Amino acid sequence: MDVIKNVLNSEIDRINRQEGRDGKARINGEFFVNHPWLCLAMLVGYIAVGVVMYVSPYMGIGWFVGFTAFLVFMSAMLLLEIKPVYRYEDIGVLDLRVCYNGEWYFSRELSGDAVKQILSAGSVSSRIKNRIESIVRNKGSIDFYDVYDLARLENQQQDPTRTAQLAH
Higher pLDDT among residues 167 and 92, named by residue: 92
Q: What is the dihedral of CA 136, 141, 144, 146, to 10 degrees?
A: -40
CB of 162 within 8 A of CB of 155? yes
Per-state percent for the chain, helix, strand, coil, to nearest 5: 65, 5, 30
Tens digits of residue pLDDT in 105-138? 888 888 889 889 988 888 888 888 899 899 999 9
Give the C-alpha separation, 13 to 15, whole Å.
5
Is the separation of the CB atoms in 166 and 5 below 8 Å?
yes
What is the tens place of the pLDDT at every residue in 50-89? 888 888 888 777 888 888 899 889 888 888 888 888 888 8
Give the Cα separation of 145 and 2 in Å (integer): 16
Phi, psi of 29 (to 5 degrees): -90, 10
Query: What is the CB-side half-sphere exposure of residue 4 using CA atoms within 13 A?
Result: 23
First-to-last C-alpha distance (Å) of the chain: 10
Do residues 53 and 64 make contact, with C-beta atoms less than 8 angstroms apart? Answer: yes
Beta bridge partners of 123: none
pTM: 0.68
